[in-house]
Structure 1
Amino acid sequence: MHYKKIAAFAVGPIGGAILGFVTLPLITWFFSTEDVGRLAILNVAISFSTLFFSLGLDQAYVREYHEEVNKAALFKTVFLPGFLLLTMTLFFIITLNGALSNWLLGIQSIQLSILIAFVLVSTFIARFLSLILRMSERGFAYSMSQILPKLLLIIIILGFIVFNSTKDITNLVIAYMVSSIFVFLVYSWNTRKDWLSAFRQQIDYEKLLRLLKFGLPLIFGSIAFWGLTATDKVLLKELSDYNELGVYSVAVSFAAAATVFQSVFSTIWSPMVYKWAAEGNNLKKIDKVNRYVLLIVTTFFCLAGLFSWLVTLFLPAQYESVQWIVISCLGYPLLYTLSETTVVGIGISRRPIFSMVASIIAFIANIIGNYYFIPSLGAVGAAISTCIAFWLFFILRTEFSILLWRAVPRVLLYTYTGLAVGGAVLNTLYGDVLGESFFLYWFILLFSLFIFFKAEVKEIKSIILKKVNHP
Structure 2
Amino acid sequence: MNIKKIAQFAIGPVAGALLGFISLPLITWFFAPEDVGRIAMYNIALSLSVMLFSLGLDQAYVREYHESSNKIQLLKTSLFPGLLILTTCFSVSLLFSKDWLSSLLFDLESGFLSLLVMLSIFVAFLARFFSLILRMEQRALAFSIVQVSPKVFLISLVLIAVAILASPQTQDLVLITALSQFLTFFILFYLIKDAIWQLLKQRFDFNLFKTILAYGFPLIFGSLAFWGLTAIDKVLLKKISGLEELGLYSVSVSFAAAAAILQNVFSTVWAPTVYKWVADGENLDKIQDVHRYILFIVIVLFCLAGLLSWIVPFFLPSYYVEVQWVLISCLGYPLLYTLSETTVVGINVAKRTGLAMLSAILAFVFNIALSFILIPVYGAAGAAASTCAAFFLFFLLRTELSARVWVSFPRTLLYGYTFLLVFGACTSTLFGKDYATYSYVFWFVLFVSSLIIFKKELASFLRFVVARKKREIA
TM-score interval, normalised by the smaller of the two chains:
over 0.9
Structure 1 contact 160–166 (Cα < 8 Å) conserved = no
Specify the alignment match of 2:71 in structure 1. Answer: 71
Specify the alignment match of 1:36 in structure 2. Answer: 36
Greater Cα offset, 64-73 or 182-191: 182-191
Greater Cα offset, 86-95 or 231-240: 86-95
Q: Please tell me whether residue 298 in structure 1 is matched to residue 299 in structure 2.
A: yes
Structure 1 contact 339–397 (Cα < 8 Å) conserved = yes
Structure 1 contact 302–443 (Cα < 8 Å) conserved = yes
Specify the alignment match of 1:143 in structure 2. Answer: 144
Greater Cα offset, 229-238 or 401-410: 401-410
Structure 1 contact 384–428 (Cα < 8 Å) conserved = yes
CA distance in 2, matches of 1:295, 1:315: 30
CA deviations on 1:234-270 (whole Å, 9 max, x unpaired) are 0001111111111011101111111111000000000
Structure 1 contact 16–147 (Cα < 8 Å) conserved = yes
Specify the alignment match of 1:98 in structure 2. Answer: 99
Give, in angstroms, the shift of residue 467 of structure 1. 2.5
Q: Please tell me whether residue 327 in structure 1 is matched to residue 328 in structure 2.
A: yes
Structure 1 contact 366–385 (Cα < 8 Å) conserved = yes
Give, in angstroms, the shift of residue 422 of structure 1. 0.5
Q: Which amino acid aligns with 1:367?
A: I
TM-score, normalised to structure 2, is: 0.98
SS across alignment from 1:390: helix
CA deviations on 1:91-129 (whole Å, 9 max, x unpaired) are 222331300110111111101101111111111111111
Q: Please tell me whether residue 236 in structure 1 is matched to residue 237 in structure 2.
A: yes
Taking only aligned residues, the RMSD between alpha carbons, in angstroms, comes to 0.9
SS across alignment from 2:218: helix
* Residue ranges of structure 2 left out of the alignment (5+ in a row): none
Give, in angstroms, the shift of residue 397 of structure 1. 0.3
Specify the alignment match of 2:87 in structure 1. Answer: 87
Q: Please tell me whether residue 62 in structure 1 is matched to residue 62 in structure 2.
A: yes
Specify the alignment match of 2:200 in structure 1. Answer: 199
Q: Which amino acid aligns with 1:133?
A: L
CA deviations on 1:202-235 (whole Å, 9 max, x unpaired) are 1110110111110000000000000000010000
Specify the alignment match of 2:348 in structure 1. Answer: 347
Give, in angstroms, the shift of residue 169 of structure 1. 1.5
CA distance in 2, matches of 1:35, 1:462: 49
| TM alignment of 1:25-424, pairs within 5 A | 25-95=25-95, 96-424=97-425
Give, in angstroms, the shift of residue 148 of structure 1. 2.0
Specify the alignment match of 1:455 in structure 2. Answer: 456
SS across alignment from 2:384: helix
SS across alignment from 2:355: helix
Q: Which amino acid aligns with 1:100?
A: L
Q: Please tell me whether residue 20 in structure 1 is matched to residue 24 in structure 2.
A: no
CA distance in 2, matches of 1:182, 1:221: 31
Structure 1 contact 94–110 (Cα < 8 Å) conserved = no
Structure 1 contact 33–243 (Cα < 8 Å) conserved = yes
CA distance in 2, matches of 1:8, 1:55: 29
Structure 1 contact 119–176 (Cα < 8 Å) conserved = no
Specify the alignment match of 1:439 in structure 2. Answer: 440
Greater Cα offset, 135-144 or 277-286: 277-286
Structure 1 contact 93–100 (Cα < 8 Å) conserved = no
Number of aligned pairs? 471
Structure 1 contact 126–183 (Cα < 8 Å) conserved = no
CA distance in 1, matches of 2:142, 2:148: 10
Q: Which amino acid aligns with 2:7?
A: A
CA distance in 1, matches of 2:469, 2:447: 24
Structure 1 contact 335–390 (Cα < 8 Å) conserved = yes
SS across alignment from 2:217: helix
CA deviations on 1:334-357 (whole Å, 9 max, x unpaired) are 000000000001111111100000
Give, in angstroms, the shift of residue 149 of structure 1. 2.3
Give, in angstroms, the shift of residue 284 of structure 1. 0.9
CA distance in 2, matches of 1:280, 1:85: 45
* Residue ranges of structure 1 left out of the alignment (5+ in a row): none
CA distance in 1, matches of 2:468, 2:113: 52
Give, in angstroms, the shift of residue 281 of structure 1. 3.1
SS across alignment from 2:69: coil
Structure 1 contact 56–218 (Cα < 8 Å) conserved = yes
Give, in angstroms, the shift of residue 15 of structure 1. 0.8
CA distance in 2, matches of 1:467, 1:166: 52
Structure 1 contact 133–139 (Cα < 8 Å) conserved = yes
CA distance in 1, matches of 2:307, 2:470: 30
Give, in angstroms, the shift of residue 279 of structure 1. 2.2
CA deviations on 1:270-293 (whole Å, 9 max, x unpaired) are 011011112223211111011100
Structure 1 contact 228–359 (Cα < 8 Å) conserved = yes
CA distance in 2, matches of 1:380, 1:94: 37
SS across alignment from 1:470: helix
Q: Which amino acid aligns with 1:271?
A: P
Structure 1 contact 94–113 (Cα < 8 Å) conserved = no
TM-score, normalised to structure 1, is: 0.99
Specify the alignment match of 1:2 in structure 2. Answer: 2
CA distance in 1, matches of 2:306, 2:158: 31
CA distance in 1, matches of 2:28, 2:87: 33
CA distance in 1, matches of 2:315, 2:471: 37
Identity over the aligned pairs, expressed in percent? 49
CA distance in 2, matches of 1:408, 1:82: 42
CA distance in 2, matches of 1:68, 1:224: 30
CA distance in 1, matches of 2:410, 2:192: 46
Give, in angstroms, the shift of residue 165 of structure 1. 4.5
Structure 1 contact 325–379 (Cα < 8 Å) conserved = yes
CA distance in 1, matches of 2:153, 2:459: 43
CA deviations on 1:31-69 (whole Å, 9 max, x unpaired) are 000111111111111110111110000000000000001
Greater Cα offset, 214-223 or 197-206: 197-206
SS across alignment from 1:273: helix
CA distance in 1, matches of 2:94, 2:307: 48
CA distance in 2, matches of 1:305, 1:73: 51
SS across alignment from 2:135: helix
Q: Which amino acid aligns with 2:437?
A: E
